[in-house]
Amino acid sequence: MRNRVKEYRARYNYSQEKLAKRIGVTRQTIGFIEKNKMLPSVLLALKCAKVFDCKVEDLFILEEKIGDDS
Amino acid sequence: MNKFKLYHPLIMACFYFSLLLFFWYIDLVMRNPNLAIVKLFGFDVDLFMGIIIIGFVGYSAFLIIYSYFFQKNTKGKLAAFSLKPPEINEEDEGTKFIYATATKNIYIYYTTVIPSLILVAFVLHMISFELKTNMLVYVLLFILVIHYLIYYVSIAKLIKK
């Protein structure tokens, strides 16, 4: 999975610290998400999307293909 | 993650290592009393008493300072004699991730070190090697030192990256 948190953060001129404060996490958590070390929970992803006024899919992009049922 | 929580495993590793050295020296002097007094600049110095006093003052001071920082940094979330160590940090998803990674490494360490020690103890038993209690204390302290170092290195690596 790829994410565009850093890109959105730059667009809004937010530091990691500021974003962390707004969504109620530590700065390290933002760092881990940006570096793709850790997958955020649905709640955290939704909070990020709300802060940047976008959809979760705009921030977090699933790159791998999912096999169909048939 | 605050600095106390970050450095807590390192502080504990140093504490147990100093305790290891302290016990080792006392044990050494108990078995060789002539090592208790050393000649320094022509004077006989009672090193044993010196070490005992330094140990007593040092560990008392450590306990007071540690208790102060413990209370200050855990903000009453952990009781002073709680079984939950401060390095168990579950403030948010990031710190939970750090904690999960560090404890995974500790788990790997114990699943390796305990069977290895069982094997060593069994071999020593088979060759009729007399295992003394003091050796058990050293081994346990050493295991604990390595345990805290692994925890600290795991956290430090994740935070510095």
Three-state secondary structure readout of B105-121: HHHHHHHHHHHHHHHHH
Whole-number pLDDT of residue A41: 93
Say yes or no to pLDDT of B37 above 80: yes
CA distance B25 to B39: 17
User: Average model confidence (pLDDT) for chain B?
Assistant: 87
**Contact: B95, A28; criterion CB under 8 Å:** yes
Band (pLDDT 50/70/90 cuts) for residue B90 is confident
Domain ranges of chain B: 3-160
Q: How far is C-alpha B102 from the geometric centre of its chain's CA atoms? A: 17
What's B84's DSSP letter? S
Q: Any residues with CB less than 8 A from the CB of A3 and at least 6 apart, and which?
A: A33, A34, A36, A59, A60, A61
Q: What is residue B5's predicted lDDT score, i.e. its pLDDT?
A: 82
Smallest Cα distance from A11 to chain B, Å: 23
> ipTM score here?
0.79
For residues B109-135, give the mean pLDDT. Answer: 90
Quick: pLDDT tens for A33-70: 999 889 999 999 999 999 999 999 999 998 877 777 66
CB contact under 8 A, A26 and B158: no
Q: Confidence band (pLDDT; 50, 70, 90) for B39?
A: confident
Question: How many other C-beta atoms can be found within 10 angstroms of the C-beta atom of residue A43?
Answer: 10
Q: Are A47 and A14 in contact (CB under 8 A)?
A: no
Tally the C-alpha atoms within 13 A of residue B10's C-alpha that lie toward its C-beta.
10
> Domains in chain A, start-ordered, CATH in brackets?
2-61 (1.10.260.40)
Check if B50 contacts A (Cβ < 8 Å).
Answer: no
What chain B residue is nearest to A21 in terms of C-alpha separation?
B92
Inform me whether the C-beta atom of residue B93 falls under 8 Å from chain A C-beta atoms: yes
B23, with CB counted inside 10 A (0-12, 13-18, 19+), is middle
Does B13 contact A at CB distance below 8 Å? no
Longest C-alpha distance within chain A, in Å?
46
